Amino acid sequence: MSRLTVFSKSIPSMTSHLDIAVVYDASKEAEAQQLIETGYEEANRLISIISAWQEGTELYVVNQNAGICPVKVCDELFFLVKRSIKISGLTNGLFDVTFASIDKVWYFDKPMVEVPTEEAIAASVRNIDYRHIQLDEANRTIYIANKGTKIELGAIGKGYIAQKIKVKLQSLGVQGGLVNAGGDLITWGKNENGERWRVGISDPEKKETHIAFLPIENQAVATSGSYERFALINGKKYAHIIHPKTGWPVSGIHSVTIISPDAELCDAIATSVFLLGLQDGLDFVNQFNDLNCFIIDEKNDYYYSDNLKQVHYEITH
């Protein structure tokens, strides 16, 4: 009987990293590595379609033609944008696929000495509105009706790419694996020991450590956190997560982790729950049977959705 092991690789991608791990016959390393490379080829193919910042992609062309004309796109981009609009509607715009239309008045990569004016903050979000997107399904065209609005799929695209890599590798016979696209993580099958994958939730105070581990099988995980990037103004921290309707940084929560079978959905919902706040966020998640949620508030207290309370998780401290 062949011995299974995990072969893995990590590369810089999508302003973060893309990790692919496959459970495979230990004696077939070359074959396993080729499968991993096939996963990266799939990622690059999709990035060349859905990236908003890479010149010449289909989405780049859509954004360039905002307020000008509809653009015909491939099915993959069309239906990804369609699903993004659906989630935008489901969350009443808390997840908004046009969030990249924000004018930058908050800076989290350099010092800020004062809070932006109320007028500047209000004006910064004026072009954010997913309802500016018009889809023509018969002709497979996307049109952004407002000149200042643009689509950016970062909050859903990484999960989409992770999911597509999983499907590709499964079709090639990989029985178990894990893909981590910049924090949007999806697993399938079992690990090399025939057990469920063990996924860590980062400590908001010390990202290199974990406060809990969750047993995951055929599920995806995404965490949205305020602890990594923030502006410090007059001794007060302003988190990098901005409310798309008000333009103000949100507060009250350190991190939100969402678990569901759909990697594409996880990141979008994590951001939405963060914006909803603790109780409204839990109430939102508890409406759905296939969503689980783990929240850490600013006091470092832990909260769980109803479904997750039934799962055996390991708290490290």
The pLDDT tens digits for 219-238 are 999 988 776 678 889 888 88
Q: Are 197 and 219 in contact (CB under 8 A)?
A: no
Q: Which of 126-130, 195-199, 201-205 has the highest mean pLDDT?
A: 126-130
pLDDT at 100: 93
Residue 312 to residue 289: CA distance in whole angstroms: 17
Could you tell me which CATH number the domain at 58-152 has? Answer: 1.10.3980.10
Give the confidence band of 313 by pLDDT, cuts at 50, 70, 90: low
pLDDT at 315: 55
Residue 43 to residue 1: CA distance in whole angstroms: 33
Q: Are 291 and 188 in contact (CB under 8 A)?
A: no
pLDDT at 3: 92
In degrees and rounded to multiples of 5, residue 32 shows phi and psi of -65, -40
pLDDT at 169: 98
Closest CA to 162 of 8, 268, 40: 40
Residue 95 to residue 89: CA distance in whole angstroms: 8
Give the confidence band of 285 by pLDDT, cuts at 50, 70, 90: very high
Who has greater pLDDT, 301 or 204?
A: 301
**Residue 7 three-state SS:** strand
Q: Are 180 and 18 in contact (CB under 8 A)?
A: yes
Q: What SS3 string covers 163-185? A: HHHHHHHHHCCCCEEEEEECCEE
16: β partners:
13
pLDDT at 208: 67
pLDDT at 35: 98
Give the confidence band of 122 by pLDDT, cuts at 50, 70, 90: very high
Percent of the chain past pLDDT 90, that is, above it, reads 71
Residue 167 to residue 281: CA distance in whole angstroms: 30
In the predicted structure, residue 28 carries a pLDDT above the cut 70: yes
- How does the average pLDDT of the chain come out, rounded? 91
In the predicted structure, residue 316 carries a pLDDT above the cut 60: no
Residue 162 to residue 266: CA distance in whole angstroms: 11
pLDDT at 212: 77
Q: Are 165 and 179 in contact (CB under 8 A)?
A: yes
**Overall average pLDDT of the 73-81 stretch:** 98
Q: Which helix (H) or strand (E) holds 11?
A: strand 4-13
Could you tell me which CATH number the domain at 4-47+163-315 has? Answer: 3.10.520.10
pLDDT at 309: 65
Closest CA to 52 of 101, 123, 6: 101
Domain segments of the chain as ranges: 4-47+163-315, 58-152
- Hey, do 4-47+163-315 and 58-152 end up sharing a CATH topology, with the first three levels equal? no
Q: What is the pLDDT of residues 44-64, one digit of tens each?
A: 999 999 999 999 999 999 999
Q: Are 187 and 266 in contact (CB under 8 A)?
A: no
Closest CA to 170 of 5, 46, 22, 290: 22
In the predicted structure, residue 205 carries a pLDDT above the cut 70: no
In the predicted structure, residue 317 carries a pLDDT above the cut 70: no
Closest CA to 103 of 87, 116, 88: 116
Q: What is the pLDDT of residues 123-177, one digit of tens each?
A: 999 999 999 999 999 999 999 999 999 999 988 999 999 999 999 999 999 999 9
Q: Which helix (H) or strand (E) holds 30?
A: helix 29-50
Percent of the chain past pLDDT 70, that is, above it, reads 94
Give the confidence band of 312 by pLDDT, cuts at 50, 70, 90: low
**Overall average pLDDT of the 276-290 stretch:** 93
Q: What's the maximum distance between 2 C-alpha atoms anywhere in the chain?
A: 69
pLDDT at 225: 78
Q: Are 128 and 244 in contact (CB under 8 A)?
A: yes
